[in-house]
């Protein structure tokens, strides 16, 4: 990957406009801290990059090395080297982890991986994230602890060796030792050429992984950019200086008033905005 250019992207989900003219440029070798208050659009931006169909892009463009990313399917994006580590990895009952990993690797190459190579690589990856490899025979994420789920996301990143890794709060739920372990994996992959966009609310991770760029999402757009120092400042001072120094107002609940549905689909009642 040489560059990713996000230009004036707006998107909506379930009638809510979330991203509003959001722009950001990421170059090969960058390690970007993507920050912003809760609910302002960080995960949404990563989902839009990965192609989650729940988010409808209504305007703007995204190019990856000059190619139109938005016209690509999710699997095409993955084959181009994009990877997303989820904030909340879903349970996938009925799908054995090992089968999933093998299908995942095979989808990225012309010939199926040999069993021996696959076994060696997965065993190594389990060791690197310090997970018991017996988990490979369990259903994906089912019954995993919070920290195990996050380690399992990093394990998939190790197996796929992406060019651009989008990590969404990968540090939440990790114990102190796991945090250092994951940070050292990220640092090694950085040296091997992976570009990162990392969302975290805590500077513990940014102290262990050197970020060269910070982008702050406020009200659905990148409102401020800077170098790694900006992430440190936000960690120390919070977001209040954005308004004082940059006149960036952090809006709360300014979204368009929608109908509120109460109850299940069988017995559903709707409250109109004017009745609230």
Ligand X SMILES: Nc1ncnc2c1ncn2[C@@H]1O[C@H](COP(=O)(O)OP(=O)(O)OP(=O)(O)O)[C@@H](O)[C@H]1O
What is the closest distance, in whole angstroms, from the C-beta atom of residue 87 to Mg ion in the complex?
A: 5
**Residue 219 binds ligand X, judged by CB under 6 A:** no
**Residue 43 binds ligand X, judged by CB under 6 A:** yes
**Residue 18 binds ligand X, judged by CB under 6 A:** yes
Of 82, 94, 88, 114, nearest to 168 by C-alpha is 88
Of 159 and 211, which has the nearer Cβ to ligand X?
Answer: 211
**Residue 250 binds ligand X, judged by CB under 6 A:** no
CB atoms within 10 A of CB 211: 24
Of 31 and 35, which has the nearer Cβ to ligand X?
Answer: 35
CB-based contacts of 31: which residues, under 8 Å, 6+ apart?
Answer: 190, 195, 196, 198, 209, 210, 211, 212, 213
**Residue 49 binds ligand X, judged by CB under 6 A:** no
**Residue 93 binds ligand X, judged by CB under 6 A:** no
Q: What is residue 275's DSSP assignment?
A: G
Helix then strand count (H, E) for the chain reads 9, 14
**Residue 13 binds ligand X, judged by CB under 6 A:** yes
Query: In terms of DSSP H, where are the helices of 36-173?
Result: 42-50, 74-79, 97-106, 115-128, 146-160
What is the closest distance, in whole angstroms, from the C-beta atom of residue 199 to ligand X in the complex?
A: 7
What is the closest distance, in whole angstroms, from the C-beta atom of residue 179 to Mg ion in the complex?
A: 18
What is the closest distance, in whole angstroms, from the C-beta atom of residue 87 to ligand X in the complex?
A: 6
**Residue 10 binds ligand X, judged by CB under 6 A:** no
Residues 57 and 70: beta-carbon distance below 8 Å: yes
**Residue 60 binds ligand X, judged by CB under 6 A:** no
Stretch near ligand X under the rule CB under 6 A, chosen from 12-20, 173-181, 202-210, 221-229: 12-20
Of 70, 51, 61, nearest to 9 by C-alpha is 61
**Residue 44 binds ligand X, judged by CB under 6 A:** yes
Long-range (24+ apart) CB contacts under 8 A made by 63-68 are 63/3, 63/4, 63/5, 63/7, 64/1, 64/3, 64/4, 64/164, 65/1, 65/2, 65/3
SS3 of 234, please? helix
Question: Considering only residues 2, 8, 16, 142, which one is a binding residue for ligand X as defined by CB under 6 A?
Answer: 16
Give the DSSP H or E segment for 96: strand 92-96
Of 111 and 276, which has the nearer Cβ to ligand X?
Answer: 276
Of Mg ion, ligand X, none, which one sits near residue 124, judging by CB under 5 to 8 A according to partner kind? Answer: none
**Residue 195 binds Mg ion, judged by CB under 5 A:** no
In the window 32-91, what residues touch Mg ion (CB under 5 A)? 42-43, 87
Provide the binding-site residues for ligand X, judged by CB under 6 A.
Answer: 13-14, 16, 18, 36, 38-44, 54, 87
């Amino acid at each position: 990957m040489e560059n990713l250019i996000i230009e004036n992207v707006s998107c909506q989900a379930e009638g809510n406009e979330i991203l509003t003219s959001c722009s950001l440029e990421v170059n090969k070798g960058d390690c970007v801290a993507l920050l912003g208050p809760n609910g302002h659009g960080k995960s949404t931006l990563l989902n839009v990059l990965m192609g989650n169909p729940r988010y409808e892009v209504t305007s703007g463009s995204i190019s990856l090395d000059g190619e139109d990313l938005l016209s690509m399917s999710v699997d095409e994006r993955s084959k181009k080297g994009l990877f997303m580590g989820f904030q909340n990895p879903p349970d996938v009952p009925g799908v054995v982890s090992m089968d999933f990993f093998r299908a995942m690797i095979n989808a990225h190459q012309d010939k199926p991986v040999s069993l021996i190579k696959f076994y060696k690589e997965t065993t190594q990856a389990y060791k690197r994230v310090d997970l018991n490899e017996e988990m490979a025979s369990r259903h994906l994420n089912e019954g995993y602890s919070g920290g195990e789920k996050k380690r399992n996301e990093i394990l998939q990143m190790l197996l796929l060796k992406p060019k651009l890794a989008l990590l969404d709060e990968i540090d939440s739920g990790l114990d102190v030792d796991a945090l250092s372990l994951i940070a050292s994996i990220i640092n090694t992959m950085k040296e091997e050429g992976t570009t990162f966009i990392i969302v975290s609310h805590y500077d513990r991770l940014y102290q262990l992984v050197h970020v060269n760029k910070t982008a702050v999402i406020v009200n659905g757009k990148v409102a401020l950019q800077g170098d790694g120092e900006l992430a440190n400042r936000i960690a120390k001072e919070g977001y209040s200086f954005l308004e004082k120094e940059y006149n960036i107002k952090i809006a709360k609940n300014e979204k368009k008033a929608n109908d509120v549905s109460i109850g299940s689909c069988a017995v559903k009642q709707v409250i109109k905005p004017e009745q609230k």
